[in-house]
Amino acid sequence: MSNKTKYKVGSIYFAIFGLIVLAAGVVELLLGVTGKSLEWSIMEISGEFLIWRGLILFCSGAFYLSSIKNFSDIHKQARTVMASVMIWLIAGMKIFSMILESIPGGEEGGWFNSAKGFLATYSPPYIPSLLLFPFSFVVIFFIKTLEVSEEKINMSENTHRQLKVGEKYE
């Protein structure tokens, strides 16, 4: 697959993903402002940092959407990386809090949680950032694609520089 095709697919993927992230951010912001919560299937939108999570997801979605035009440009890909890192930060904080919540045994229990109680803390519902987390790793593929294409460009530039005056490039 050519790089042009890869960047076109990436542009479409991040346009759709950006709209989903932006929508999740808007919903979290609206629920945070109104003080309500929402639980739908395996997703839960509630908590004390709802407005901040919503604002970060909204900005992340906006960064994704602003990077889709001319996606092969390194500056546009940097925006995509920045948007992904924003999701990684929120999801990472939630994963860290889930790990810390799973260790103590609770009010009526002992110092440490039982195996059943430990695993129960990792069951749904999840915040939207955790559901978006694995889909944001696609950006790593495009970073690797950019590195490979830059290496090819650098190799061809070095080949041209090594030719002596009057020699033909084959």
94-113 tens-digit pLDDT: 999 988 888 886 666 667 77
Residue type at position 15: A
What residues contact residue 3 under an 8 Å CB cut-off, 6+ apart?
72, 145, 149
More confident residue, 153 or 59: 59
Distance (Å) of CA 133 to CA 18, 61, 69, 145: 13, 13, 23, 21
Mean pLDDT of 84-88: 97
Q: What is the CA radius of gyration of the chain?
A: 22
H-only helix segments in 37-73: 50-66
Looking at the domain assignment, is residue 169 inside a domain?
A: no
Looking at the domain assignment, is residue 151 inside a domain?
A: yes
Looking at the domain assignment, is residue 170 inside a domain?
A: no
For helices 3-34 and 138-162, angle between their N-to-C axes, nearest 10 degrees: 140
Mean pLDDT of 19-29: 96
pTM: 0.80
Average pLDDT value for the chain? 85
What residues contact residue 73 under an 8 Å CB cut-off, 6+ apart?
none
Looking at the domain assignment, is residue 167 inside a domain?
A: no
Looking at the domain assignment, is residue 9 inside a domain?
A: yes
Give the percent of the chain with pLDDT over 90: 48
Domain range spanning residue 15? Answer: 3-162
Residues 104-145 pLDDT 10s: 866 666 677 777 877 888 888 899 999 999 999 999 988 887
Which residue, chain included where needed, has tokens 């346009």? 15
What per-residue confidence (pLDDT) applies to 144?
A: 82
Task: Find out whether 131 and 42 touch, Cβ atoms under 8 Å.
Answer: yes
Count the domains in the chain. 1
Q: Is the per-residue pLDDT at 156 higher than 70?
A: no
Taking the chain, what is the end-to-end CA distance rounded to the nearest angstrom?
A: 25
